[in-house]
Amino acid sequence: MMTRSKRKRVWLVYALWLAACLLLSLPSFSRAAGDVAAKAAICTTCHGLGGNSTTGDYPSLAGQTSRYLYLQLRDFKAGRRSDPRMSPMVENLTPDDMHALADYFAAQKPIATDFKADPVKVEAGRKKSEEILCTMCHLGGFTGQNEIPRVAGQQYPYIVKQLQDFRDRKRTNDAGNMTSVSKNLTDADIQNLANYIANLQ
Ligand code: HEC
Ligand code: HEC
């Protein structure tokens, strides 16, 4: 049974999604290449103001590498990555739109989330990250580079979901980089790693 407030939230999310779908399908949106701010405004209904998400359902985009953002938009459009809330958002975006949106969100300043890390899990996650050499690709502090995403300060539930999706091969657009490093992670490892990384700024 859903509680009343949970049901309200589900409806609100659905209404926002529907509004975003309708706006994105307007011809003026696909034509107005210059107006990146107007397009980005739609994205922020889920991804938060300036791409700083305030809920674990949606990843923050602020300060992410532009190259990575572009590649994800391209992959959603090509169906190589899929999500029922995100996939419809790229349907009318051209490659130019995707580059412009990627540059726009990469240029926004990331704001710290209100995540309260568990110090024991943070330490366990730091050790696991050293053991698996995560930072060989993501760089120290998980700040990312080019096509490798910044994960520092990302929403905790989102990090957990992505690591599970890679491990369970529900997300496979990573050229094997993440599916291979995550295949032996336990749920506890994933929680520890996510505590550590979400706590980084
Ligand atoms: C209705 C809500 C919603 C809207 C509106 C929306 N997104 Fe998303 N977006 C999501 C969700 C949910 C995910 C995470 C999917 C998953 O779990 O894999 C996502 C993921 C992404 C990602 C991948 C991020 C990462 O770290 O891998 C990018 C990039 C992105 N969205 C960009 C956009 C852009 C640009 C727009 C506007 C054109 C937009 N989104 C509009 C819900 C939304
Ligand atoms: C061999 C290089 C490499 C290593 C090692 C690596 N990653 Fe990644 N990681 C990537 C790449 C590349 C992507 C983006 C994949 C894509 O384009 O979909 C990624 C994506 C991710 C994402 C998804 C981010 C998002 O915004 O959706 C998370 C979370 C992540 N890595 C965490 C980790 C952790 C934790 C470790 C160590 C256990 C690790 N990575 C080790 C290359 C690597």
pLDDT per residue as tens digits for the range 25-76: 554 454 444 589 999 999 999 999 999 999 999 999 999 999 999 999 999 9
What's the CA dihedral at 39, 112, 128, 191 to 10 degrees?
A: -80
pLDDT value of position 1 = 54
pLDDT per residue as tens digits for the range 125-141: 999 999 999 999 999 99
Expressed in angstroms and rounded, the spacing between residue 175 Cα and the centre of ligand 2 is: 11
Residue nearest to atom 30 of ligand 1 (CA): 73
pLDDT value of position 32 = 47
Residue 25 neighbours by CB under 8 Å, 6+ apart: 91, 92
Alpha carbon 26 to its chain's center: 25
pLDDT per residue as tens digits for the range 106-128: 999 999 999 999 999 999 999 99
pLDDT value of position 28 = 47
89 lines ligand 1 (CB under 6 A): yes
Ligand nearest to the CA of 165: 1
pLDDT at 11 over 70: no
Ligand nearest to the CA of 58: 1
